[in-house]
Amino acid sequence: MITIAETDLVVHPLCLGSNIFGSNANEVQSHAVMDAYAHLGGNFIDTADMYNQWVEGHVGGESETVIGSWIKSRSNRASMVIATKVSKMDTRPGLSAKNIFAACEESLNRLQTDYIDLYYSHEDDQSVSLEETLGAYAQLIAQGKVRYIAASNFTPARLHESIKFSEDNNLPAYVAVQDLYNLVDRKSYEGEMSQTVAELGISNIPFYGIARGFLTGKYRPGITDVDSMRAAGAREYANEKNYAVLIAMDEIAKGHKTSLAAIALGWLRAQPTVSAPIASARTVDQLNEIMQVIELTTAEVETLNAISA
């Protein structure tokens, strides 16, 4: 278990993503995955109010609803760390105080809980003052409805500005970021953003930790029939450079007697500003591929750094 910097949240080194719960994985499948995750010691589940409004016939909130029904039926809220988000749901856009309060209540109802452990600003909203947004979070924390706040999809400058404003005005500050980062998608995070996160003493809880499934190794040259509803997204990574990354991962995985997904997540954990990477699973078999926590050697990390640069 690890403790997220700037918090007392003690979490499993794999954060279970839930953007497929209620869509690619129905409620029964989702409950089975969460049961297996908890049985293996997992306690950190990530969702958002807008999951999965992109699915035809959905409006958002479906993932939270599935998680809420699981928490209630298992009576395990106290042992779980639940993260959700506000500002990108079509019917609850932005970071005004009014919207944050309303969205939080709706998330709490869907999750069937009275508090959220980690509440993200899912994207920045510069039409609203930092005083209003952070003041709203301060009220939710004072009311016991939220424990900590975090930021996703912010620029380094806005993240720095937001945290400085919090410090200068005695308001709650963002304790983490959730940004896209994985072994074959490094450019958007490495550099200014990772430096800012390091300087602020917080961490990244990165999404797409296994690159939409590409880093499981199932997508290889000539292989077209993969049992995944996210195959199209994974194939966006299909190129010669990334196939070479898979070949290097094959050798490392063989040495550790583990899956390629576990190696991909191990590489993320080896990065100094990463705490618990996020990955999702539609089935228990897929979950088993991502649950093993592997510590890579310095040489293995350097090999993967060089070939994926």
Please pick, among 51, 119, 219, 237, the residue that the annotation labels catalytic: 51
Angle of helix 62-74 relative to helix 27-39, nearest 10 degrees, comes to: 50
Phi, psi angles (nearest 5°) of residue 177: -120, 160
The residue to which tokens 């063989």 are assigned: 254
> Exposed, middle or buried: residue 214 (CB in 10 Å: 0-12, 13-18, 19+)?
buried
Number of C-alpha atoms within 13 angstroms, CB side, residue 205? 33
Give the pair of three-digit tokens for residue 274. Answer: 């990463």
Residues 6+ apart with CB under 8 A from 141: 147, 148, 149, 172
Name residue 118's beta-bridge partners: 83, 148
Our measurement of the distance from residue 79's CA atom to the centroid of its chain's CA atoms, rounded to an integer in Å, reads 19
N-terminal to C-terminal alpha carbon distance within the chain: 30
Distances (CA, A) of 278 to 56, 145, 156: 25, 24, 21
| CA angle, 79 then 84 then 85, to 5° | 165
> Exposed, middle or buried: residue 42 (CB in 10 Å: 0-12, 13-18, 19+)?
buried
Give the pair of three-digit tokens for residue 125. Answer: 């909203």
237 is catalytic: no
Angle of helix 156-168 relative to helix 130-142, nearest 10 degrees, comes to: 60
Catalytic residues: 51
